[in-house]
Structure 1
Amino acid sequence: MVADLSVDPPHTLSPRGRTVVLLTCCLSVVVAGLDTTIANVALPSIQKALHAPVSGLQWVVDAYTLVIACLLMFSGSLADRFGRRRVFQIGLGFFSLGSLLCGVAPSLGALVAFRALQAVGGSMLNPVAMSIIATTFTDPKERARAVGAWGAVAGLGGASGPVLGGLLVSGLGWRSIFWVDVPIGVLAVCLAQRFVPESRAARGKRFDPLGQLLVVTFLGPVTAAVIEGPRHGWSSPFIIGLLVLAAVSLVALVVTESRRAQPLVDVRLFRSPAFSGAAVIALAAFMTLGGFLFLNTLYLQDVRGYSALHAGLLTIPMAAALAACAMVSGRIVAVRGPRPALVLAGLLLAAGAGLLLGAGRETGAWYLVLAYLLFGAGFGLVGTPTTNTALSGMPRDQAGVAGAIASTCRQTGAAIGVAVCGSIVAAGSAGFVASSRIALAVLAGCGIATVLLGLISTGRWARAQAERSGRQLGTHAVEATP
């Protein structure tokens, strides 16, 4: 999330102090990024230990990503109003407590509930950490380097999740993947108290409780319906009721937020084809990642019989390609604009998922590694051009809101990817391999959609419309300022 730059005058810190602030923010993003991916490699062990069905495994992953998606924008506004350091520390506290409780969860239901508690804290980490960095590093060049380092650590945290998870699960059991967060979280709380200066927005954004409620009653029922559909039946009153609730909430969200002076979700941003395209690309790309990681860990451990450690190590090429291409992506965007990076990203995502369509019980490791390399490269390329496109033409004071919505789309996409792929596998009667091929075809389709949307949202017409929407938003902001 891009920080709100309308803040109190920054505190003067020494270079060492600013470095410690950056380190503290990086610690928070490490644990938040790890928990987005580390749980996937432990799913087979959790399934055996807690006798969980496939839908239960989906909830273990989605309870985390879905709650974060619902609360990201609210947490950012909370920090702007009551103090960024304070909310940051509260978030670290909730996250650490949730992690500790996950590690001792006696049942599947308890684990899902504690994952949700983790996510409440997690929603206060990334957006607030970015705001802290923006207010601490006032020099544009220093800020750019700090944001770059923070982003690199964020990518490394998520990419290393499967490998670290494999090591922990194989050596200490699945509960250890949650315990590892606790000492890091406690250390970050102490460092924040000692070194991070307090700051808040000059004019805190008004709370929008109705908007927040409608976001929850839209995203929650959609995800629940997709996960529980195979078990209850798609025509059951329960599933139909969830979908109706989601539809009504979406309509109400659009109507009510378009009338508020300071909405939680500024629907006017979607008038820009570039922003709308970037939001859907973020949704599709993270849907591909969430579904891919969910299917792959079950395939490697349940179908191929690999240990959690072996499965984690086998995905190192994907993590390496992701990290390398994330760095290359910024250079491509700087020189050629976002279109080439988005098109190449979508093609590589489709190719990686498409190759796994041909994977079976005896597929060679080289074939899997090739698929992982292509997929990791595609996902590494997609982040920078998506952010660039989302902010195209946006006035400066709307950058934070636009970034928050884009981040929400990413988390929502990851949750839906797990829900859709898990439901396809759960509904299949021909075994995991055959059912997963249908899910992988859906993910490959998301890669192709990324290509098409990348072409549309970065074209001449889309850029012109984005500039026009940006001018209108800027005019509205001036008129609304008291």
Structure 2
Amino acid sequence: MLAICCLSLLLVMMDVTIVNVALPAIRGALGGRLSTLQWVVDAYTLAVASLLVLAGSTADRIGRRRIFLAGIALFCLGSALCGMAPGATALVLARAFQGVGGAMLNPVALSIVANVFVDPAARARAIGIWGAMSGVALALGPVAGGVLTTYAGWRSVFWINLPIGLAAMLLTLRFIPESRAARVRPVDGPAQCLVALSLAALTAGLIEARDYGWHALPIRLALALSAAGLAALVLVERRRALPLLDLRFFRALPFTGAILIAICAFAIFSGFLFLNTLYLQDVRGFSALRAGFCTLPFALGVVACAPLSGRLVAARGARLPLLLSAAGLGGGALLLTGLAAATPLGVLLAAYGLCGCGFGLCNAPITNAAVSGMPRDQAGLAASLASTSRQVGALLGIALSGTMTGVAMRGAADGRAAMAQLPQASHGVWWGMVALSGVIAGLGLLSTGARALRSAQAVRALLEVSVPPPVTGPTIRPHRHIMSGR
């Protein structure tokens, strides 16, 4: 079951890195500005971030295997639509549809893992394997994307998802038992709409600020709408007996720290990958294949450090891997603060390796803190919130890194001249990533002390006392292989 759940992670994570490597080829074939490339990545991420919590709670309600299978099917259909997209706008819309399927995969698979591995140490090791699979996906993605883009065209990077998805569906039908929570929350339509509205307005404002300017009325309205939606979300959820976003979760310092760390780490990761893909191909003139191989140190760092992080969490807690993660992410970004068109390749590879090690070390403590401090009946919701924070971080990383760099390149006469300015224009982004690494270190210290542990215990007791009423309706029979009481 762990292997099948990891296969879904492979499907989604490999798609991220494949698409990044193919971005220059997509722009050459379909046209578009830098903001168009941002939307190709962020349309998918936006759909995932908006629907993760809904997908996790729905899976708890009607069955995790059902939602898991539906997610694979929609993801594969969206991949096919991306492969057939006739233009940039159609590709962006297809990516958003693909994200609907992606939202049903990772949090549901993670809740399956959390309910199978009930021992804390075993669960930490399983999550470490889960994190290592993301490294395998990242390792396969750039190389596979480079090979496919070079020899079969950029559309093939989407078609490759279909055989992987078909294998995942067949294995799920054969081996994954159906399960659901004994008690779940009702569907919270107003909150779901406010989440989607806030994220969409924020993303649009950040991405389009490059072309309109930060002081333009549409940008101000978009950012104000996002802030108003967030404020309305808090007010609505505080008044509901069984909210979609249970604000009591955030009273637990480990959970809150994990959410904020995930946003920072994934903002660094997504911005790092987006800018370096453009730099390697459009500034250094590397082919898609060579650019993919250059990013291998990042992926190998994730592969090496993710299982190590799981073992460290199981043996010594989350503090040490989080501090090491901050050092890796910050060190990698620091090496790029002086990026130039002729930066030695060895410096680039060292920066990629450090960043990969830092990214691999952060995932296990984030996920373990998110799901281990909550009642198991709410594993889907807690995992969804952790996954949502990752996607929000990725969303912000792409939007801000692209916009900050694009604003600095705005005076260029044409696209080629603009890309020549990319190294100098990106310096502020790298310094921002160094600062975010410091935030990760501070949150790691704050969320792993004795006070944080007491807050988590208090919140767990509170949630176990005020549980939602049992679900009514037809009972889903468990798989015959599942152990009694799971």
Find out whether 1:437 has 2:427 as its counterpart: yes
Paired AA for residue 432 in structure 1: L
Cα-to-partner distance string for 1:329-380 (whole Å, 9 max, x where unaligned) = 1222233321121112112111101101222122221111111111111111
Find out whether 1:319 has 2:309 as its counterpart: no
Find out whether 1:85 has 2:75 as its counterpart: no
Q: How far apart are the structure 2 equivalents of 1:31 and 1:225?
A: 30
The residue number in structure 2 matching 1:455 is 445
Q: How far apart are 1:70 and its partner, in Å?
A: 0.9
The residue number in structure 2 matching 1:283 is 263
Structure 2: gaps (5+ residues)? 412-420, 472-486
Identify if the C-alpha distance between structure 1 residues 190 and 341 changes in structure 2 by more than 3 Å, giving closer, same or farther: closer
Identify if the C-alpha distance between structure 1 residues 135 and 440 changes in structure 2 by more than 3 Å, giving closer, same or farther: closer
Identify if the C-alpha distance between structure 1 residues 335 and 101 changes in structure 2 by more than 3 Å, giving closer, same or farther: same
Q: How far apart are the structure 2 equivalents of 1:197 and 1:474?
A: 25
Q: How do residues 58-207 of structure 1 correspond to structure 2 at under 5 angstroms?
A: 58-133=38-113, 149-207=129-187
Q: How far apart are 1:135 and its partner, in Å?
A: 6.1
Q: Secondary structure at the match of 1:33?
A: helix
Alignment check: 8 A CA contact 2:128 2:308 kept: no
Q: How far apart are 1:105 and its partner, in Å?
A: 0.8
Q: How far apart are 1:232 and its partner, in Å?
A: 1.4
Q: How far apart are 1:223 and its partner, in Å?
A: 1.2
Structure 1: gaps (5+ residues)? 1-20
Q: How far apart are the structure 1 equivalents of 2:284 and 2:253?
A: 44
Find out whether 1:477 has 2:471 as its counterpart: no
Q: How far apart are 1:51 and its partner, in Å?
A: 1.1
Q: CA RMSD in A?
A: 2.4
Cα-to-partner distance string for 1:414-434 (whole Å, 9 max, x where unaligned) = 111000000011111372111
Q: Aligned residue pairs: how many?
A: 461
Identify if the C-alpha distance between structure 1 residues 211 and 24 changes in structure 2 by more than 3 Å, giving closer, same or farther: same
Q: How far apart are the structure 2 equivalents of 1:297 and 1:140?
A: 38
Q: How far apart are 1:257 and its partner, in Å?
A: 1.2
Q: How far apart are 1:82 and its partner, in Å?
A: 2.6
Q: Percent identity?
A: 50
Find out whether 1:466 has 2:456 as its counterpart: yes
Q: How far apart are the structure 1 equivalents of 2:127 and 2:268?
A: 26
Q: 1:446 aligns with which of 418, 430, 436?
A: 436
Select between 386-395 and 42-51 the one with higher mean Cα deviation.
386-395
Paired AA for residue 386 in structure 1: I
Q: How far apart are the structure 2 equivalents of 1:26 and 1:357?
A: 35
Q: How far apart are the structure 2 equivalents of 1:358 and 1:108?
A: 33
Paired AA for residue 459 in structure 2: S
Q: 1:355 aligns with which of 335, 345, 351?
A: 335
Select between 117-126 and 423-432 the one with higher mean Cα deviation.
423-432
Alignment check: 8 A CA contact 1:289 1:414 kept: yes
Identify if the C-alpha distance between structure 1 residues 439 and 136 changes in structure 2 by more than 3 Å, giving closer, same or farther: closer
The residue number in structure 1 matching 2:17 is 37
Alignment check: 8 A CA contact 2:56 2:383 kept: no
TM-score for both structures, normalised by structure 1: 0.89
The residue number in structure 1 matching 2:478 is none
Paired AA for residue 405 in structure 2: V
Select between 290-299 and 88-97 the one with higher mean Cα deviation.
88-97
Q: How far apart are the structure 2 equivalents of 1:453 and 1:79?
A: 31
Q: How do residues 18-33 of structure 1 correspond to structure 2 at under 5 angstroms?
A: 21-33=1-13
Q: How far apart are the structure 2 equivalents of 1:392 and 1:134?
A: 8
Select between 364-373 and 305-314 the one with higher mean Cα deviation.
364-373
Q: Secondary structure at the match of 1:258?
A: helix
Q: How do residues 234-245 of structure 1 correspond to structure 2 at under 5 angstroms?
A: 234-245=214-225
Cα-to-partner distance string for 1:361-411 (whole Å, 9 max, x where unaligned) = 222211111111111111111112223444565444444432221110001
The residue number in structure 2 matching 1:346 is 326
Q: How far apart are the structure 2 equivalents of 1:166 and 1:108?
A: 20
Q: How far apart are 1:83 and its partner, in Å?
A: 2.8
Alignment check: 8 A CA contact 1:389 1:457 kept: no
Select between 394-403 and 218-227 the one with higher mean Cα deviation.
394-403
Alignment check: 8 A CA contact 1:394 1:467 kept: no
Alignment check: 8 A CA contact 1:301 1:308 kept: yes
TM-score for both structures, normalised by structure 2: 0.89
Identify if the C-alpha distance between structure 1 residues 161 and 276 changes in structure 2 by more than 3 Å, giving closer, same or farther: same
Q: How far apart are the structure 1 equivalents of 2:4 and 2:293?
A: 28
